[in-house]
Structures are given as C-alpha cells and as structure tokens.
Structure 1
C-alpha cells in the first residue's frame, strides 16, 4: 500500500487501472519509458540505503570496529528522518547547470553523481585508520540518497498519467527497491566472500552510475505555477508565521547540532587519560530532549497557531511561505483535527517499529562475527530467504486486514516483532529453545533431507519468525499512517509522520550498540522486545480513545 497514492492525483481517483503483477508488471515496465525509468529509479533509491544502513556494518564488523561506534555511525540514517526539512528547496529550486535537464531529473541526476563519488570514496578509505573520513563520506552519501528519494517521490507523482498511473509507478518503485535490497545485501555479501570490500563498494558505485545514464533519458514535467500565495491567506499573519518558523527551526538546529557534535567527539581519536564519550549517557540525557525539540516543539507551535486568526491576505509565495506550508501547516491541520489525541498518534509512531528498527544495523555483525556464519550463508538466509519471508508477512498482513479489521491487525503487528526479538535472544545464547522446537516439530528431519544442518536451520527459523512478524507490522504501520493523514496534506503529512520512525530508530541504535558491547546480544534483544510493549500500550490507548464515528469513516475509506 502506498500512502495516499490515489489521493495525490485527484484526476485519477475515479478510474481503476488494471493492477499488473509479477512478470506482466515487469514486461510493462520494459515496454514503457516512464515505467522502465521508475523501475531503475526504485533501484537507485534502494541500493544506497541498503549499503549505508545495512551492508556497510558487515564491513565495519569485519574490520573489528566496536559495536558502539557502529551504532553511532548508523546515525547517518537521520538524513532520512530530516529530509522533509529541505524538500521545499528540491521542489522550488533548480540545480545550477544540470537543472536545465528537467524539473526533477536535474536533482535526481545530481544526487546520483554525488552517490557515485561517495561510494567510490568509501571504497578508497580505510574504515579503521580513517574512521572519521569514512563516516563523513558515508554521511554525504546518506544526504544525497535522502535528497534523491525526495526528488524521485515527486517525479513519480508528476509523470503519472492514464497509461502509467501512480499506482503502477509505485508498484514498480517497490519492485526496483526490493531488487536493490537483494543486490546491495545478498549479492554484495556474496562478492565480499570472494573479493575485498573496497572492490565491492566500487562495483556498487558503478551500478549507480549505470542508473544515472538511464536518468538522462527520463521524461519530466514542466514546473506548474505556484499557488502557495493564495494558500497563505488562510494562515496566520506573516510576523506570527516567521516567529513560529524561527522557534521550529531553532529546535531542529539544536537537535542536529547536538547529534553532530557528539558524533565528531565519538569518532575522534581518543585523548590519553580522557574518558571516552558514552553513547548510553548521551542517549539518556539528550534523546528525550531531541525528540521534544524535533517533534514536541513543532506540534506545540502548530497547536498554538491554530488559535490565531488567519491573515486573510494572499502572499507572493516566497521561501518562508513554502517552508511554512511544508513544515507547520500540515501539523496545524493534524493538531486541529485530532486535538490531544495527536499525542497518542505520535507515541504510537515513535514506538511502533522501535523493537526491530533499533537492532537492524547490527544484524550482519551478529550473524557474521558473533555466530560465525559465512557470508554466503548470511546472504542466502538474511537477504534472499529473509526477503521472501518479509513478502509473506506483508501478504499475511493483507489477509488479516480482510478478516480481522484495521485496529486488530495493527495490534497484532505491534505484538509479533517483540516475540521475534525473544527468539533472537535465544539464538544469541545457544538456540536451546529453537533446537527443541525444530526437533519436536520435525523441521530438523525435513530440512535435513535437502542438506540444511541444524546450525543453519536455527538461523532460518529465527529469520522466518522475525521477517514474517516485521512484514505484518510494516503492512499494519503503513495502513495506520495512511488512516491518519488528511486528503489536503497527504504527501507532506505522511512524510512528516513516517520520518519520526527513522528518528527514534537512529537514536536508539547508539545505545543498542553500547548495550551489546557491555551485556551481549541476548540482553539487547530482550531490552528491545520490552520496548516493543510500549507500542502495544499506545495502540491499545489509540483504539480505546478513537471516536467511533472517526473509526467508522477510516474503515470505510
């Protein structure tokens, strides 16, 4: 499901385009310029994310970088949380030189050029001797990747038409993204078992370069006249808007600056006699304040501006107006519509994916360094078999929606990942319970017939439970967010709300890495499972407090 895909293009709302699947979908992609480009752009979006958030941790683990540092390095994923901050610039400005290629194409191609250079830069940088430089290059790559996502999402909406509707383009985007997850995950590990990591990342840079050639031939659309000025007539007076934007901006600048300063101090060479910075202490002291500054303060500002009278005058639609419409106006609508229940919504969003997002960056070091599986085994179990299990979980989630309804399925999606983490805790501590279940259920004998030994079966069973659970949870979470957004702010509200999951997940990874270093993987899995119970409590609270008429309207939609 894509958030408001049918809502974004109102002109297509009445038509029901044929849904192509499998090979028919791929054949259509190869025969249509727009659809084929969308497949390539989905690949270009998924490959750097897979490499930077997942695969690079296998390289760092093999280089014996400690897990606390890996956790801090995973904070480069915050670029995906903050991308809506500069999305108005992507929408309004053209890049010098290559901007003449097209409204969206210039940004996409520019980001791809930066990604090629950054991935090649990682390939020639030693992650041990030049860890600070390595982290800086990875951060630049994450910024380029997040900005590319903004431009690709906008391109998908802009070029949709009756022949290639936005639903088809969204499906192709997911298809390309999943292909990139296989290439950047399983295939990269397969290559790394046979060649050096720098060569692998050099090849990945080459793949992004090939997609950039496809981008050169992509269609594009003209920039429509802006209606931001007329929209501002319903907003508060300009002076009040500027004051509100300054408050929100100060909160974001402080949060990003605090994270950046700590990352620099964490990655800098140790000073003899000086205590090394503690991720756990920083997270305990700053994480609540960062969430308040980036989530709580904007919501408070939005709620207060709801009480202000509209200016009643159209403006010229300058940069400040675009920032207001992008950052504050969607939150004003949300707080005005939900009232105090917006706090329940934010609590659910911040915690729903916490128990599996937090430890995802440590999955490959866990499999390779802690459990000593080979790269080929991990490539098959985690990336090939695991992606199939995730797709199965998404299908099961769809079936649960049809049989149980929306809120029961969302509750199931909150409970199951926590149970999956307890299974991973057992895997980390010898898999006693996993082995007992495999013998009692006959799975040991069944998989033995195809040459899968007990050691590999443990990994397959744990990954099966985890990925099916997160597949169900992912489908439920998308449905939950889609049911919360307004038709008038579909794209922006969905981007703002979904970005909160990246924020809390990225902050949590730092303390998770330090927990692993101090207490081991088993303790980390149990703590993250317990954190998942917070999401269960928020879902139950949302279910109980939701007005009956609103719930009925959502289900009908």
Structure 2
C-alpha cells in the first residue's frame, strides 16, 4: 500500500507495526487536535438535530413547527454541494491560518456563538431567531466537517498516520454524540437547557480558539501571490496534451447544469418549507428520500461519466492541445477555467487515476455500510414495537452501552490496523458487520441464543448491575426489563463491529483521495455511503411487513457478503497497484518497503 505525499506523488514509508506505531501517533500533537476536531464534528449534530427537539417539546412548541427545524439536517445531507469552495477558495484576511484552518476555526467559532445566543432565547416566543441560529449553526457545522476531513488527509504523516487519525476522529465524534445526547439530557433535567447550550457553546468556542494553533498547510496572505498561484494552476490546463478549451467548456456546461439543478432544488425546497403555511409545508423525509438520490446522481454519478469522457478524449489524443501558446499569448485566465478547476478537475483527476477501478471503488462505497445503514430507521420500531422493550431499556442499551461499544471498537480497530494493515481490517470489518445481523435474527425470534451467550460470559450480571447503578442518574424508577441483557448483548456486539469497521473504512476512504482535491473528493465519496440506505429503505420496510424482521436480518447479512467480496477485490487491486509502482508491500504496516526488481 502506498500513500500520497503533499504534492500527490506516491511515496513509501517505513513504520514499525503494533504498539510502537500507535504510541508514537498518540504522542504527536496532531492526534490531540484530531480528537478535538472529531469532538467538534460530533457535538453540533447532537445539539441541532437531537436534543434540540427535547428542548422544543419542553417549551411546548407544536409538532408542525418543529418540522421546520428538521430542515437543518439538509446541511449535513448535502454538504458536498459547496465542498469545492474549500479546495479552491481562500477567505480574505484568514489565509494565513492555513488552507484548511481558515475554514475550520471560523466555523467552530460561529457554532459556539450560535449555541450561546440560542441559550438566551425562549424557543416559543423567539422562534424565528431561534430557528435561524439553528440553521446557521448547522451550515457552519457541515462546513467544518468538510474542512476537518480534508485537514486529516493533509496533515497525516509517518508518525501521525492516516489510519490512526481516522480512528481518533471517529472516537471524538462518538464521544461528542454521547456527551451531547444522553449527558445533555441529564444536565438539562438538573440545570436547564440554557445552561446546557451555554456549556456546549463554550466547548465549541474553546475548540475554535485551540484550532488556531493546529498545524496546517500554509497559505500566503498576499492576495497577489495567491492569485498568481491560482492562475498558474489554471495555465496548466493549456499545456500540450491537455484537452482543448472547447472540450472543457462542454464538460463544464454539462456539470454546471447538473449542479445548478441540484442546488436550486435544495434552495427552492427550503424556501417553500419556511414560507408555506404549516398544512402546505413539504415533508423533509420525503424530500430526502425522493430527491436525495437524484441530487447525488446529478452531482456525483453523472459528472463522473462526464469526467470519464474527458479523460478518454485526452488518452486517445483526440481534441487535445498540440502546441501550447504560452501564458498570456492568445489565452488569458478565464472565469470558466476556474470553475472547471473547481467542479470538473477533481473528478477527472480521480477518474484518470483510478480508471476502470473506479467502478470497484464506487461499488464498495455504496455497499460497505449497507448492513447497518439500511435498517437503522427501523431500529426503534423493532426494539419498542416488535420486542416490547421500554424507552429506558433502549436508551441504556443503545445510547450508553452502545456508544461505549463503538468507542471500544474504534480503539481495537485502530490498534489492529497498525498491526494487521488497513486492507485486512477493511475486509475483516465487512465480515463482522455482516455477521452481527445474524445476532439480530436470533433476537427477532426470541433471543434464546443471545440470552444463553450473555449468561455464559457474565454479561447479564454486568448489564443488570450497570442498569441498577444508572437508575438514579437517569431518574428511572422501574427496574431493568427481564430481557434487557439479550438486547444489550446484541447491540453491544453490533456496535463493537461498527467501531472496528468504521475505523478501517474512514482510513481507507481518506487514503484514496488526492490531497489537492481532498475536500471535494472525500465529501463526494462520503455522500455515496448514505445513498444505498436511502434507496433501500422503502423496499426493506415492505419486506418487514410481508416477511418479518427475521428474514430481513438474514437478507442484510447476505448483502454484507457482497461488501466482503468487494473488499477482497479492492485489497488485490491495491496490492497490484503497489507492485506496479515499484513497491512490494501491500500495506504501510505490513513491513518495510522494498523496491521491486
């Protein structure tokens, strides 16, 4: 396995596998900043999309009005629409902070300010201002996510490795979800919602201040110098062998129309939702379910085919520049050139580098998380309706023990990556993620095996003891349900598998993008992860009604086998790519690099 250097050239590195690599990574300051950034990524969604509804309910805001607040989720769902800005646009006055920090730190400060100001408002009497602040905070949160994902890829090195940084960011994210979710509710009961939002707003302001000291790729504060660099990059489009301006403009027009439609669709929907009467207000879930896949198709899938056409023209020598006129001789730097560099070039770079392997990459991205993402919306109906557990049982098993399991899985996964390699863990993660669906299948028919296994290893006693100890903390008077142990046992092992698989998946996804286009390429690929779940939920709901949960879990486990096969093929592809580039080792931790003969 090889990694891209800062200039996108392929390099090898020597690294001692195991605890030595892990400890060196954790001692690096980049790891500490990564934990802070991961926490900053996980906290706002919990506050803007989760606990916020509890505050609104307590303030007696009606359900129809609450529906407007679900619009803030669109910022996270479609954040890739403005991801090209973070790759190609510098913020005046903030350029000196660094390429990524100029976006990250201000967004974190905006989130913190929004939370603190929201704490001073009454949601019912100042609903318009309250909802506007929530929307601003969510947009800033989604924007910092783009920047942080790109920052992780940019700063990774042989000490603070990409694999370890990817694991740490997931741990910070999950920890923030626990703090902002379960603990946020506890503190709100004791101290009130204004206290909670001031406290968490202070956290975000502190992280935003700390971000100023994080390492990053430097960007000159000289406007003329930055313009010259951008113009020089654009001038590369006119080199001999590049496609002609006519071909570029055709590709840009097609991609531009698709992106304009996608952005316009989202904007029109948001305007309708905020201005229409409650009875005529469109449903966010229906919009995301129907238009979400179409928007992804318009901004990712179809542009990828357009990019492939451009790459094909260039490789076949058709419609290419045969004599460069030189900078300023017959061609100036045009606005369309900058647009092409922002919208189309990240795709042509990716398609040109991957070739036909891109089909394998996309298939793996679409299927890797399918076993848990496709049925996630049916989890609570399964726990509460089908199995009859109480809300307290589910909160303990999924929100407390489940988060602990994910954090443990991430820690185990991060260490195992350093020992066994990224691609081995990616494949292993797909195996265990698929296998845990069989645990749910047993739970769906009574959970006798889950109960027996829980009793055998002492898990039942542990769960009952923890639930009893946490009762006063959560103000729960009822004792744990009789079947809580088998529910917690199943959720624990599934979330442990999700943590292990998630560490490997984010590391792999980060490794296949080019640093030059990290923000755009990562955001586009990450959006595809959710696509298959959105597409499949309708059919899955119908299957649940017709066949029941047991058959659905067997079916999703079989689908997971597809991801396992694709992981094996991707492992083989990367090993071949390493050998072709003159590197024998298939993974940076599998041993020292040796030049191929």
| Cα pair 1:68 1:511 within 8 Å, conserved | no
The equivalences for 1:339-488 within 5 A come to 342-357=358-373, 371-373=390-392, 380-392=400-412, 405=424, 408-409=427-428, 411-412=430-431, 415-416=434-435, 418-419=437-438, 422=441, 426=444, 434-435=450-451, 438-439=454-455, 443-445=459-461, 447-448=463-464, 453=480, 454=482, 456-478=484-506, 481=509
For 1:281 and 1:238, how far apart are their aligned partners in 2? 41
Equivalence for 2:257: 250
The equivalences for 1:12-411 within 5 A come to 13-14=12-13, 16=15, 28=27, 37=33, 39-52=35-48, 55-56=51-52, 65=63, 74-88=73-87, 91-95=88-92, 97-99=93-95, 104-120=100-116, 122-123=118-119, 136-153=132-149, 176-177=172-173, 179-217=175-213, 221-223=218-220, 225-226=229-230, 227-232=232-237, 233=239, 234-262=241-269, 265=272, 277=282, 282=287, 285-308=290-313, 309-311=319-321, 313=324, 320-336=336-352, 342-357=358-373, 371-373=390-392, 380-392=400-412, 405=424, 408-409=427-428, 411=430
User: Structure 1 residues 157, 479: closer, same or farther in 2, change over 3 A?
Assistant: closer
How far is 1:467 from its partner?
Answer: 0.8
How far is 1:115 from its partner?
Answer: 0.9
Instruction: Please list the CA deviations of residues 447-506 of structure 1 after superposition, one character each: whole Å capped at 9, or x if unmatched.
Output: 55677654553453232122122123324434654675579877754443233225555x
For 2:80 and 2:550, how far apart are their aligned partners in 1? 24
> SS where residue 234 of structure 2 aligns?
helix
| Cα pair 1:58 1:368 within 8 Å, conserved | no
For 2:256 and 2:267, how far apart are their aligned partners in 1? 16
| Cα pair 1:386 1:463 within 8 Å, conserved | no
> SS where residue 93 of structure 1 aligns?
coil
| Cα pair 2:96 2:219 within 8 Å, conserved | no
How far is 1:51 from its partner?
Answer: 3.7
> SS where residue 392 of structure 2 aligns?
coil
User: Structure 1 residues 393, 16: closer, same or farther in 2, change over 3 A?
Assistant: closer
For 1:130 and 1:524, how far apart are their aligned partners in 2? 44
For 1:261 and 1:300, how far apart are their aligned partners in 2? 27
| Cα pair 2:97 2:219 within 8 Å, conserved | no
> SS where residue 311 of structure 1 aligns?
coil
Equivalence for 2:524: 496
| Cα pair 1:394 1:472 within 8 Å, conserved | yes
Instruction: Please list the CA deviations of residues 208-247 of structure 1 after superposition, one character each: whole Å capped at 9, or x if unmatched.
Output: 1122333445566343745513532354223332332232
| Cα pair 1:68 1:510 within 8 Å, conserved | no
Q: What are structure 2's unaligned runs of at least 5 residues?
A: 221-225, 314-318, 469-479, 579-584, 588-597
For 1:395 and 1:219, how far apart are their aligned partners in 2? 24
| Cα pair 1:415 1:536 within 8 Å, conserved | yes
Q: Which has the larger radius of gyration?
A: 2
User: Structure 1 residues 387, 543: closer, same or farther in 2, change over 3 A?
Assistant: closer
How far is 1:203 from its partner?
Answer: 1.6
Instruction: Please list the CA deviations of residues 68-89 of structure 1 after superposition, one character each: whole Å capped at 9, or x if unmatched.
Output: 988765433224443523223x
TM-score where L is the length of structure 2: 0.69
- The CA RMSD over aligned residues, in Å, is 5.2
User: Structure 1 residues 8, 492: closer, same or farther in 2, change over 3 A?
Assistant: farther
User: Structure 1 residues 124, 306: closer, same or farther in 2, change over 3 A?
Assistant: same
> SS where residue 208 of structure 2 aligns?
helix
User: Structure 1 residues 455, 21: closer, same or farther in 2, change over 3 A?
Assistant: farther
| Cα pair 2:80 2:520 within 8 Å, conserved | no
| Cα pair 2:107 2:140 within 8 Å, conserved | yes
Which range is displaced more, 207-216 or 280-289?
280-289
How far is 1:298 from its partner?
Answer: 0.5
| Cα pair 1:69 1:266 within 8 Å, conserved | yes
For 1:372 and 1:400, how far apart are their aligned partners in 2? 40
Say yes or no: does 1:556 pair with 2:586.
yes
User: Structure 1 residues 488, 106: closer, same or farther in 2, change over 3 A?
Assistant: closer
Instruction: Please list the CA deviations of residues 396-433 of structure 1 after superposition, one character each: whole Å capped at 9, or x if unmatched.
Output: 6777769x94785364156236446657x74xx98677
For 2:541 and 2:56, how far apart are their aligned partners in 1? 18
